[in-house]
Amino acid sequence: MSRIAFGTWQLGGDWGSFDEDAAIAAIHHARELGVTFFDTAQAYGFGKSEAMLGKALREELKRDRDNLVIATKGGIKPRSERPRDSRREWLAQGIEDSLRYLDVDHIDLYQIHWPDSDAPAEETAGILQEFVDAGKIRHVGVSNYDAAGLADFDRTRPVETLQPPYHLFRRDLETDPLPYARENDIGVLVYSPLGSGLLTGAFTPETTFEKTDWRSRSSAFTGETFRRNLAIVDRLKEFAAGKGISVSQLAIAWTLARPGVHVAIVGARKAANIEASLAAADVDLSADELAEIDRLTADAVPVSGASPEGVA
């Protein structure tokens, strides 16, 4: 797989309005540049994102299916009475719906989007294994799990991949569950390496977001937390400029330099944006540079993101 995956959360309606044709062009351009891994989810517009990805890749999926890795996620129902739902009925329906929206006969990697404490891990793992046995799923992963959750799942069938949030303003992954993933040979595909836009260098303290953009309701994108972290982004911009790269490339390269991280999932709505992200995979950071980045971000305010229950 390519070390940069094309993520599609931004195509599901939670990030404000966008041009669908431009988004499909971005997916096409990512393929032209060598991206082979695409990540989506049932909850990204309840099929909207999956359908758009399937539409963009339809001809290639029919012509050369095995050269593409399509990952999706299920097991949640945001804005419902039970936002996390890995019970058999909803999970099975989600897998069948994802196959239909993507217009494929199998999903390369199916992931449980968020842990569901009311659904025993052995049952969830067992359901996914049934779909593997049926040939509808090839590999099984989880997203947003901690080490204890991974261990519970592992007792029934191995977790092959973990998809956690990870960026310079959110580093709790380093203590749990990244060590467990390294010790148990679990592939780590991190999402939000750009801090949901914080690390793009495109924002100022005056930046606001559309009401349909989840960031408009997040404490990470308003007030003192926003201002303090943007000041740190300015420091990182200066450091990145000294290497001849952008701050977004620095942020992605930093993520990929962390031991145990295999893939960074980066979204784009415009073709030009994906080029810069892909170039970040070729940026080398020395031990001294990594230490300097730690120093520059030492007083960052840790931030969280959206969850099935809402936005912090």
Q: Which residues are catalytic?
A: 44
Which residues, other chains included, contact 19 with Cβ-Cβ below 8 Å and sequence gap of 6+? 269
Q: Which two tokens stand for residue 71?
A: 């990952």
By the 10 Å C-beta count (0-12 exposed, 13-18 middle, 19+ buried), 298 is classed as exposed
Give, to the nearest 10 degrees, the angle between helix 247-257 and helix 223-242: 90
Cα within 13 Å of Cα(15), Cβ side: 18
Long-range pairs, 150-156, Cβ under 8 A, ≥24: 150/177, 150/180, 150/181, 150/184, 150/186, 151/180, 152/121, 152/122, 153/121, 153/124, 153/125, 154/184, 155/121, 155/122, 156/121, 156/122, 156/125, 156/126, 156/129
In DSSP terms, which residues pair with 267 in a beta bridge?
A: 7
Q: What are phi and psi of 39, to 5 degrees?
A: -120, 135
With H, G, I as helix, E, B as strand and everything else as coil, classify residue 24. helix
